[in-house]
Structure 1
Amino acid sequence: MSGFSQERLMQVLLAPQISEKATLIADRNSQVVFKVHSSATKPEVKAAVELLFKVEVAGVQIANVKGKTKRFGRISGRRKDWKKAFVSLKPGQEINFAAGE
């Protein structure tokens, strides 16, 4: 494992991003989409996925998602910006979120 602390890697992945688009990407490209910490880097995401799910990662792409503007009555507010990571798995690798451990 590379030089990342285990505590840091445990904080990098926040949640799997489950949506129609994410499911389509998973089926078509064998990629998994995660919501990640806003300061996470590609090598950190790769190391965290490999550590937590015991799979081999082929590559990582990261996108910054801008928070939507929402209104609460007269007050206009904004949701937080967040970061999502598209993790490509090597052939034969799979992450199954449905299986309870």
Structure 2
Amino acid sequence: MSVLVKPLVTEKVSSMNEKGKYGFVVKKGANKVEIKKEIEKMYGVKVENINTMVYQGKRKTRYTKSRVLEGRTDAYKKAIVTVAEGEVIDFYAGI
């Protein structure tokens, strides 16, 4: 069972890719050691550093004709992974 949920492909993270940093959404219970092992196994790169952040879900309200709908977005954990100099992770290789 993988601890990686999906790679982050946003404008901010894509600009960090040039510096050797890549973003991933990971499972909440995953620790840095598990994330490092999974990325090294899956992408074949050497991981030097990992920073993790836990984001809380935001409250959302939508006004419709019949009523007001309230809810929350999902909370998630994000990992910023720094790979060794000269190594690259290519997310689009299999497409």
Question: TM-score, length-normalised on structure 1?
Answer: 0.83
The runs of 5 or more residues in structure 2 that have no matched partner are: none
Deviations 1:20-53 (A, max 9, x none): 11111112x3101000001110111000000111
Which structure shows the higher strand fraction? 2
**Is the partner of 1:26 in helix, strand or coil?**
helix
> How many residues were matched structurally?
91
Within 1, Cα distance between the matches of 2:16 and 2:30?
Answer: 21
Greater relative CO, 1 or 2 (CA 8 Å, sep 6+): 2
The runs of 5 or more residues in structure 1 that have no matched partner are: 1-6
Question: TM-score, length-normalised on structure 2?
Answer: 0.88
Match of 2:21 in 1: 31
Within 1, Cα distance between the matches of 2:11 and 2:48?
Answer: 23
**Aligned-residue CA RMSD in angstroms?**
1.3
Larger radius of gyration: 2
Of 64, 68, 77 in structure 1, the residue corresponding to residue 58 of structure 2 is 68
